[in-house]
Amino acid sequence: MSWHATALTLFPEMFPGTLGHSLAGRALREGKWSLDTLQIRDFATDKHRTVDDTPFGGGAGMVMRPDVMDAACAAALSDGAARPLVYMTPRGRLLDQALVRELVAGPGIVLVCGRYEGLDQRVIEARGMREVSVGDYVLSGGEPAALVLLDACVRLLPGVMGGATSAEEESFSAGGAPLLEYPHYTRPAEWDGRAVPDVLLSGHHAEVARWRRGMAEAATRERRPDLWSRRTPAGALSN
C-alpha cells in the first residue's frame, strides 16, 4: 500500500493541482503515492446540502458544521488505516520539516480543508485533529495549505525525487545541521559582471564543503536567528 492522502474539501477540483505535475505528478501516476478527495457537501443531510451556519455568540462569517464534517471524517477513515487527521488552520502548529518527516513515516494523511471562518471547535476536539498552519497569514481556504503540506511530504517518499542526495543536503535536512542552504551557482562562470566565487571553480572538494558550510551558517545566523539560537553544538535542534 503506497502512502495515501485524502483531502476533505468543498473544492475537490483543486486537487491534485500543482501535484499533478513534475516529479510529484509522475510519482502519483506511477502509484508511488495516492490521492483522493471527498466532497464535504456530500455529507450534508438537508436538501440544500448545507455545510455551514452562523456563529454562536454573533460575529461575521459562517462556521462549518461539526456533524457534517464528522461524517466526512468517518468516511475518510473507514478504510481502517491509522492515518492522522490534519486540519489546516492559521491557529495550528507551524509546519516544519520535522513534522513533514513524521507524517511521511506513517501510512498517509487525511487533510481537512476549512473555508469560511473555519470548523466548529467540537469536531476538532472530538476527532483529535492535528492543527497545522503553513504560516502567519490568512488564506481564503485550506486547499492551498494542504497542497503545500502534501508537496513537502511527497517529495520525501522513496523513489519520488531523482537525486536522493539533494534532499539530504538542502535546508532543514534530516541528517545535517538545521541550517538554511548555501547559495547556488551555475554557468556562465561570469555573468553581468558578477563572478562565481573562486572556491567553487577550484575543484577542491574539502574547501568547497567548508565554504558551503560557512555560507549556510552565515545565512542562518543573519536571516533566521530563531533557528540559529535553537542549535545545539552537535547541530541538532534542541527541542
Q: Which residues bind ligand SAM (CB under 6 A)?
A: 88-91, 113-115, 117-118, 133-135, 137-142, 145
114 labeled part of a ligand binding site: yes
Residue 230 β-bridge partners: none
134 versus 160: smaller Cβ distance to ligand SAM = 134
Q: CB 154: neighbour CB atoms within 10 A?
A: 24
59 labeled part of a ligand binding site: no
Nearest-approach distance from CB 132 to ligand SAM, in angstroms: 7
Nearest-approach distance from CB 142 to ligand SAM, in angstroms: 3
139 labeled part of a ligand binding site: yes
Residue 36 β-bridge partners: 6
113 versus 150: smaller Cβ distance to ligand SAM = 113
Among candidate residues 234, 227, 235, the one with its CA nearest the CA of residue 180: 227
118 versus 178: smaller Cβ distance to ligand SAM = 118
Please state the separation of Cα 163 from the chain's center in Å. Answer: 20
- Within 8 A by CB and 6+ apart from 153, the residues are 3, 5, 100, 103, 104, 109
46 labeled part of a ligand binding site: no
In the bound state, the residue with its beta carbon closest to ligand SAM is: 114
What's the chain's length in residues?
239
Residue 181 β-bridge partners: none
Helix axes 97-104, 142-154, angle to 10 degrees: 70
160 labeled part of a ligand binding site: no
Nearest-approach distance from CB 182 to ligand SAM, in angstroms: 29
Nearest-approach distance from CB 128 to ligand SAM, in angstroms: 17
Binding site feature residues for S-adenosyl-L-methionine: 114, 134-139
Binding site feature residues: 114, 134-139
